[in-house]
């Protein structure tokens, strides 16, 4: 039996990882630390609440972090401000949480002699790839972040590596492509599209709709992190992507419309956001070759399953899509 701390465990990927860990390692002691900001939702953990210890707190608060870290063997660090659009509106909170918060966690992990600190990051730290390029990012690709969000995540990645080089803290990092699946906050593209259609609203697509992404089902991401925790080499970084056909945002929107039985009149092209990256693509050969990981979930099949999840969990997303979220929605997705 070991004790694991999962930061940001009430968020989208974090809560899926908590569910994954409870199911696979029921004997472990699981501590979840989450500030419960707009994207953190205790309803995500309702089914496993009796299997975890939950601490509401800010990763920037050293006292809270020290308490949460007590006796912990392994840290899996998901907690982050993660939405590019929000980072454009208010970059300060992204720097505070993603950079300072990560440093506070690293310092506590060092003091507590944690055996493994795993940092969950994004492929967006590498910037963008030209639409006509066949390039895919590897662990050796240079960092060229283009938004306050990706810049703050790049900063956190560098801090994590610095704690390995300077203090010998046993760390690993994963940089993943875009995730999708249950509990995905409906400001992000796929759940926004699904829930809008369920409400009889159109899907907003940033012009011109040709932005390309590699979509990773969240359970495949969880299994990759699990393998890194078991087999990953301290100090190493592993890129995690689905490695299937990349899709444009317009293609994904049209797939969702078709799967849900609507016509293309439900598409709405809106003004683009500043500095919008045109293409992301990951080469996950290292984690496949060295650790034996591979994605198990086909994009189109699990896009349909994700749609079904939102249909069957209407109370969850209706509670989320209210209040301040609506003000934010109007600010960012009104036709321009």
Q: Which residues are catalytic?
A: 123-124, 149
CA dist., res. 292 & res. 328, Å (int): 41
CA dist., res. 180 & res. 300, Å (int): 11
For residue 183 the two structure tokens come to 């509990």
- Torsion sign (Cα): 144, 149, 155, 160: negative
H or E, element range at 255: helix 249-259
Nearest CA to 252 among 314, 311, 194? 194
Tell me phi and psi for residue 55, to 5 degrees: -125, 120
CA dist., res. 74 & res. 98, Å (int): 19
CB 184 within 8 A of CB 305: no
């Amino acid at each position: 039996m070991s004790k694991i701390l999962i930061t940001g465990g009430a968020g989208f990927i974090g809560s899926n990882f908590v569910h994954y860990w409870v199911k696979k390692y029921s004997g472990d002691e699981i501590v979840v630390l989450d500030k419960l900001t707009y994207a953190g939702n205790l309803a995500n953990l309702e089914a496993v609440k009796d299997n975890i210890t939950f601490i509401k707190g800010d990763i920037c608060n050293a006292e809270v972090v020290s308490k949460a870290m007590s006796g912990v063997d392994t840290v899996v660090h998901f907690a982050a401000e993660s939405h590019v659009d929000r980072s454009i509106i208010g970059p300060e909170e992204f720097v505070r949480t993603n950079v300072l918060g990560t440093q506070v966690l690293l310092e506590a992990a060092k003091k507590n002699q944690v055996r493994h600190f795993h940092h969950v990051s994004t492929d967006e730290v590498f910037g963008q790839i030209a639409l006509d390029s066949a390039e895919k990012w590897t662990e050796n690709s240079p960092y060229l972040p283009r938004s306050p969000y990706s810049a703050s995540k790049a900063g956190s990645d560098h801090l994590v590596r610095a704690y390995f080089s300077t203090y010998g803290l046993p760390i690993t990092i994963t940089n993943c492509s875009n995730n999708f699946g249950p509990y995905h906050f409906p400001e992000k593209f796929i759940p926004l599209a699904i829930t809008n259609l369920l409400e009889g609203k159109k899907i907003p697509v940033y012009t011109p709709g040709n932005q390309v992404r590699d979509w990773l089902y969240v359970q495949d991401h969880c299994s990759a992190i699990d393998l890194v925790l078991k087999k990953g080499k301290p100090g190493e970084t592993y890129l995690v992507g689905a490695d299937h056909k990349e899709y444009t945002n317009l293609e994904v929107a049209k797939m969702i419309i078709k799967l849900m039985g609507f016509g293309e009149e439900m598409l709405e092209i809106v003004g683009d956001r500043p500095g919008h990256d045109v293409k992301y693509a990951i080469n996950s050969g290292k984690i496949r070759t060295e650790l034996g990981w591979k994605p198990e979930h086909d994009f189109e099949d699990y896009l349909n399953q994700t749609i079904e999840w939102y249909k069957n969990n209407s109370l969850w997303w209706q509670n989320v899509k209210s209040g301040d979220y609506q003000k934010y929605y109007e600010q960012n997705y009104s036709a321009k």
